[in-house]
Amino acid sequence: MGFISGVVMGLVVGVVIMAGWSRVMQRRSRKRVAKAADIKVLGSLGREDLKKLCGDNFPEWISFPQYEQVKWLNKHLSKLWPFVSQAATAVVKESVEPLLDDYRPPGIKSLKFNKFSLGNVSPKIEGIRIQNLQPGQIIMDIDFRWGGDPSIILAVDARVASLPIQLKDLQVFTVVRVVFQLSEEIPCISAVVVALLAEPEPKIQYTLKAVGGSLTAIPGLSDMIDDTVNSIVNDMLQWPHRLVVPLGVNVDTSELELKPEGKLSVTVVKATSLKNKELIGKSDPYVTLYVRPMFKVKTKVIDDNLNPEWNETFELIVEDKETQSVIFEVYDEDNLQQDKRLGVAKLAVNNIVPQTPSEITLKLMQSVDSLKIKDYRDRGSLHLKSCIIHLPRKNNWKPWSRKRKQ
Ligand SMILES: [Ca+2]
Ligand SMILES: [Ca+2]
């Protein structure tokens, strides 16, 4: 849920700020300058290329070798962690509580932090690679690991019960992509873009414990929390989504932000052979669909029908057709308890033929994450008609493009 994303976000922003800070310090350090002169190349990056990027005043840190930099960064990271942790705690709490509300599942009335602290164990950077080089940018992929001791307690207020939930044994393994947008003025960086790479997929593990009660007091709570965590990580942090942090005033970051790339129109026609989840009567299905969970849309509910026909058309915004998918979730509406999920399906936007209406049938599964599927029982199928409509050319946006220097 929001706090996980917040924790990751806090850590990432902390690390990035620290990396920036450290580099400023580094510029001032004679020892470092002396070392910099010894080092001839920086892995795959040529000095000449870097000089071309930044003119004559290219920053010295560019020429530090990757491994040395990592060791050095970790040393500073653990020294600075108490301060980073304290600062990030405040920022995360303030910025994430509203998000908790946005991503709150329908069965939960309110979600707030009872307690939030990032703990004493600093994250570790296993390696930094300079993966790619675009004019005006340096792209760094940071192999990030954190098995911390945060203290996070959430106040969960659900329809059926209220209880504090503690999050324990948090572990984060991910590759963080940091893009430094270079500028001519010192400190040579005008903005930083941060995202978690989708490949390898970020691993965020934790256990949940109800404080002074049982998790089962709120049926389906663990699943709801897992879903919310995934939604927030996917929707806010995982590539193509990103955080854009301008460094300095009057920095135009509009080219770095994720922008709509196309509009997808999908008609949810019908579902067939859904499995009944009711003890009396039949399930009452509806479908929610989204590219980003923040912008979910929903069909009407059809009562007591395992072969419902909706024939409803939706328009969804696509921001990155190469990586985004449409997620379809079929639910059984229940008035007294949490709606039950009858199945989910995923359609990669990339698989839809542009400008050509097509009919698509998707098999409903237990989860869109194949690792989480525990049973492969037949859940029925979802039938769609879809086509993609591109936005006008002027709105097309190329990732990481930037005007070249004259
Ligand atoms: Ca019913
Ligand atoms: Ca029902």
DSSP string covering 202-234: PEEEEEEEETTS-GGGSTTHHHHHHHHHHHHII
Give burial (CB, 10 Å; 0-12/13-18/19+) of 393: exposed
The alpha carbon of 343 and the centre of ligand 2 are apart by a number of angstroms equal to 14
The alpha carbon of 345 and the centre of ligand 1 are apart by a number of angstroms equal to 23
Record the tokens describing residue 334, joined without a space.
Answer: 């229940």
Backbone torsions φ then ψ of 103, nearest 5 degrees:
-95, 5
Same domain assignment for residues 198 and 291: no
Same domain assignment for residues 89 and 222: yes
Backbone torsions φ then ψ of 260, nearest 5 degrees:
-60, 140
Question: With a threshold of 0.85, does the pTM exceed it?
Answer: no
* 138-151 tens-digit pLDDT: 888 888 889 888 88
Q: What is the pLDDT of residue 33?
A: 54
* Strand (E) or helix (H) holding 5: helix 2-28
The alpha carbon of 303 and the centre of ligand 2 are apart by a number of angstroms equal to 8
Q: What is the total count of domains within the chain?
A: 2
Name the percent of the chain lying above pLDDT 70.
Answer: 77
CA atoms of 76 and 303, how far apart (whole Å): 60
Record the tokens describing residue 241, joined without a space.
Answer: 């989504």
Is 400 within a domain?
Answer: no
Is 401 within a domain?
Answer: no
pLDDT along the chain (406 residues), means of 10: 58 64 59 51 51 50 50 84 84 79 80 87 84 75 86 85 88 87 78 84 87 82 81 82 82 84 91 94 95 89 97 92 88 85 92 83 89 87 81 46 32
Same domain assignment for residues 211 and 294: no
CA atoms of 47 and 57, how far apart (whole Å): 12
The alpha carbon of 234 and the centre of ligand 2 are apart by a number of angstroms equal to 29
Helix axes 66-103, 221-232, angle to 10 degrees: 120
The alpha carbon of 278 and the centre of ligand 1 are apart by a number of angstroms equal to 7
Same domain assignment for residues 184 and 147: yes
Q: What is the pLDDT of residue 288?
A: 95
335 φψ region: left (φ > 0), alpha (ψ -120 to 50), beta (else): alpha
CA 37 to chain centre: 39
Residue 157 lies in domain: 2-246
Same domain assignment for residues 272 and 226: no
Same domain assignment for residues 168 and 63: yes
Q: What is the pLDDT of residue 19?
A: 64
Strand locations in 234-391, DSSP E?
243-246, 262-272, 285-290, 297-298, 309-318, 325-332, 340-348, 358-363, 381-390
Same domain assignment for residues 227 and 282: no
Angle at the Cα of 239 from the Cα atoms of 194 and 46, rounded to 5 degrees: 60
The alpha carbon of 269 and the centre of ligand 1 are apart by a number of angstroms equal to 20
The alpha carbon of 302 and the centre of ligand 1 are apart by a number of angstroms equal to 9
Same domain assignment for residues 133 and 221: yes
Q: Which of 234, 406, 257, 396 lies closest to 326, judged by CA?
A: 234
Q: Which of 113, 112, 126, 106 lies closest to 15, judged by CA?
A: 126
